[in-house]
């Protein structure tokens, strides 16, 4: 291939793709997983890969790690995108994996990008193949696997958390881009300041490389100056250039949720519009509304959670673009609702106690007694059935012995919670 043709081909590829690492020595970041002696490096070097899920924000190397594994292991490697694949496509790929596994040494690897977008039926279709060893599954997700991956599948996969790139990692990547890329190394880079560059990158390697690409393409001369002013000016001129595909959604969704929490419906609707216009996944927005309703509004207005759930269901039923109206209605309702995080604080306080005190025994009178032996051991003995007492309440201990009268829920000052507090103080005067 002629040198000119090579240059044209390189120019057609995004910088992030041209610089994609091909082995662990080129890989930047995630030292807790891939440095010498770390768990993933050991697995790759030993060529003994078990199923796992990579969880982390965009641009931190999830897909790259999967491709490095495919390069370094001599086993069949198959990929699926959860956006474009249904149960039929999953089964077809699993059949190919089974065929390849019969004739080649080593278990095939199936890489599924955005595995959190698979529904329960799609995830169920993977379970048997993972269980019986037909494939080694590698999943990538930006969402918490505890909420998005079914429990049977999650129990068969180790979860590895990938972190945003630190400043040293970003500087390393910047130097690699300007010194090693076939196109950029022909330019002269004057790197004066990196504060704005790294701030806008936000720990995202792809975002950093897209900004560098933007800065280089914006200059007609061979010299490219990088300082805070040039970065801010270029991004203000073309804010979408470094954020193709909505990768800025963590920044925008943060502003969205904080506006709801701050009871500013106008700001919340503005950030919602930004997400809608950028093509953000509507289900992603709806899930965050459900979380906000429970975390930030809670018992100050329990109807908020009902509204958020109804929004989520309606969105699935009516689709897009009308779904934007449903999202807007829920957003305004949540933002204009009174706020309380008492339930959120209560569960975190209880979790802290559980972690410090361990598995305290359940009091005998609260234990289930389905067998004769359990009844002989006094399981359930002396339990008082609340509905048999006036007001459907009887004073008895429900906590483990070591935590008697411990309070986790602290009612806040909103009227709805104060009404709950008044009722609870009549039942438990020593606690509320």
For the stretch 408-428, pLDDT in tens is 887 888 888 888 888 888 888
Q: How big is the CA angle at 429 (ends 424 and 432), to the nearest 5 degrees?
A: 55
The boundaries of every CATH 1.20.272.10 domain in the chain are 249-335
Tokens of 384: 């008082």
- Residue 372 is predicted with a pLDDT of 76
Residue 145: pLDDT over 80? yes
CATH annotation of 30-161? 3.40.50.300
- Residue 9 is predicted with a pLDDT of 42
Polymer length in residues for the chain:
432
Identify the CATH class of 249-335.
mainly alpha
269 versus 119: the higher-pLDDT residue is 269
Cβ–Cβ < 8 Å for 125, 98: no
The answer as to CATH 1.10.520.10 being correct for domain 167-237 is no
Mean per-residue pLDDT of the chain: 84
Residue 4: pLDDT over 70? no
Q: Mean pLDDT across the stretch 207-236? A: 86
Cα–Cα distance, 412 to 432 (Å, whole number): 12
Entry pTM: 0.57
- Residue 12 is predicted with a pLDDT of 56
Least confident of 10-14, 96-100, 307-311, 375-379: 10-14
Tokens of 74: 């001599």
The phi and psi torsions of 262 (rounded to 5 degrees) equal: -85, 5
Cβ–Cβ < 8 Å for 260, 319: no
Q: What is residue 156's DSSP assignment? A: T
- Residue 330 is predicted with a pLDDT of 93
Q: Mean pLDDT across the stretch 63-73? A: 87
- Residue 160 is predicted with a pLDDT of 93
Which CATH number, 1.20.970.10, 3.30.420.40, 3.50.30.10, 1.10.3710.10, labels domain 342-427? 1.10.3710.10
For the stretch 264-278, pLDDT in tens is 888 899 889 888 877
- Residue 27 is predicted with a pLDDT of 93
Q: How big is the CA angle at 79 (ends 75 and 84), to the nearest 5 degrees?
A: 165
Q: Which residues of 188-197 are buried (b: 16+ CB within 10 A; e: fewer)?
A: ebeeeebebb
The boundaries of every CATH 3.40.50.300 domain in the chain are 30-161
The boundaries of every CATH 1.10.3710.10 domain in the chain are 342-427
Question: What percentage of the chain exceeds 70 in pLDDT?
Answer: 92
Cβ–Cβ < 8 Å for 168, 179: no
Mapping DSSP to helix (H, G, I), strand (E, B) and coil, where does residue 251 land? helix
User: Concatenated DSSP letters for 7-38?
Assistant: HHHHHHS-HHHHT--SSTTT--S-HHHHSTT-
């Amino acid at each position: 291939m002629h040198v000119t043709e090579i240059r044209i081909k390189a120019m057609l590829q995004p910088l992030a793709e041209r610089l994609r690492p091909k082995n662990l020595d080129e890989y930047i970041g995630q030292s807790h997983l891939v440095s010498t002696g770390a768990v993933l490096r050991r697995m790759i070097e030993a060529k003994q890969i078990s199923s796992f899920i990579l969880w982390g924000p965009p641009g931190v190397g999830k897909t790259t790690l999967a491709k490095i594994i495919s390069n370094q292991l001599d086993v069949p490697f198959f990929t699926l995108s959860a956006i474009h694949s249904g149960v039929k496509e999953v089964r077809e790929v699993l059949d190919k994996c089974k065929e390849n596994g019969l004739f080649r040494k080593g278990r095939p690897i199936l890489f599924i990008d955005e595995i959190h977008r698979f529904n329960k039926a799609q995830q169920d279709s993977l379970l048997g193949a993972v269980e019986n060893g037909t494939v080694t599954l590698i999943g990538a997700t930006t969402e918490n696997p505890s909420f998005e991956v079914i429990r049977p599948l999650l129990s068969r996969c180790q979860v590895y958390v990938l972190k945003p790139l630190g400043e040293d990692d970003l500087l390393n990547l910047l130097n690699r881009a300007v010194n090693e890329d076939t196109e950029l190394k022909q330019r002269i880079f004057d790197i004066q300041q990196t504060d704005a560059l790294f701030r806008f990158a936000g720990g995202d390697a792809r975002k950093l490389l897209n900004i560098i690409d933007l800065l280089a393409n914006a200059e007609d001369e061979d010299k490219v100056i990088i300082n805070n002013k040039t970065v801010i000016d270029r991004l203000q001129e073309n804010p979408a250039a470094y954020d193709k595909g909505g990768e800025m959604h963590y920044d925008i969704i943060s502003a969205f949720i904080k506006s709801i929490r701050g009871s500013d419906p106008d700001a919340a609707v503005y950030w919602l519009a930004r997400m809608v216009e950028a093509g953000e996944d509507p289900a992603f927005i709806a899930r965050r509304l459900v979380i906000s309703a429970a975390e930030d509004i809670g018992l100050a207005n329990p109807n908020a959670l009902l509204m958020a759930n109804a929004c989520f269901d309606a969105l699935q039923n009516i689709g897009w673009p009308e779904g934007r109206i449903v999202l807007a209605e829920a957003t305004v309702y949540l933002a204009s609702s009174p706020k309380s995080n008492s339930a959120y604080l209560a569960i975190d306080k209880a979790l802290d106690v559980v972690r410090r005190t361990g598995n305290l025994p359940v009091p005998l009178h609260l234990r289930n007694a389905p067998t004769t032996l359990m009844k002989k051991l006094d399981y359930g003995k002396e339990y008082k059935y609340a509905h048999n007492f006036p007001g459907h309440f009887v004073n008895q201990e429900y906590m483990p012995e070591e935590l008697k009268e411990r309070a986790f829920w602290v009612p806040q000052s909103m009227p709805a919670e104060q009404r709950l507090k008044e009722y609870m103080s009549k039942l438990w005067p020593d606690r509320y």
